[in-house]
Amino acid sequence: MNTMIRLHQLDLEFPEGFSLLNEEEIALLNINETGDENFVLRDENRHMIASLAYRRVNALFLAVLTLKEIVEKNEKETADLMRSFAYHREGFLENGEAMGFAYSYEVQGRRMYGTSFNRKGKKGIYHLHFYMREEEKEDGSKLVDEIISSMEEIEGGSV
């Protein structure tokens, strides 16, 4: 059965196998996503993790910066934070109203693959991060596309 997640005023559908993690499980994974709303899901069989957040931001910030500029800023911050993990940007991505970037990195001798997407709302920014083993990249990327494509604004909502 698929898992539906409501992140602020956006619904996302996750395929069967993904389950929400509790605070204790999140702490063990060392995921430090912060925002006004946060969720972390994991699919143990696919070796994938999804970290979702919504952050309210200054209205001027939203009006002045394009989504592309926000994504480029996030990519630079990610590159700086992950420099010691052999970070390598693999390219920029677009999917509907979301934009992001793909990258690879290394943890404990294992090559990993990640994608990070952003979507602008009326009062904030959605952050959608996906992490997987390098060998899961092809199938995992298809799943990520499906999840991102499933995003729907809540009826009457103002994302």
In tens, the pLDDT along 97-153 reads 999 999 999 999 999 999 999 999 888 999 999 999 999 999 999 999 999 999 998
Other CB atoms within 10 A of residue 68 CB: 12
114 assigned to some structural domain? yes
Q: Position of tokens 């298809």?
A: 142
The verdict on residue 138 lying in a domain is yes
Query: Which residue, 33, 72, 38, 70, is CA-closest to 54?
Result: 38
Q: Is residue 95 part of a domain?
A: yes
| pTM for the model | 0.91
Q: Which domain holds residue 77?
A: 3-153
Give the single-character DSSP code of 96: T
Q: Give the DSSP letter of residue 35.
A: S
Q: Is residue 158 part of a domain?
A: no
Residue 159 lies in a domain: no
CATH number, domain with residue 16 = 3.40.1000.10
Q: Is residue 148 part of a domain?
A: yes
Show the DSSP H helices in the chain as ranges: 23-29, 59-64, 67-81, 137-149
Q: Is the pLDDT of residue 156 over 70?
A: no
- Split into its structural domains, the chain has a count of 1
d(CA 48, CA 52): 13
Query: Is 58 within a domain?
Result: yes
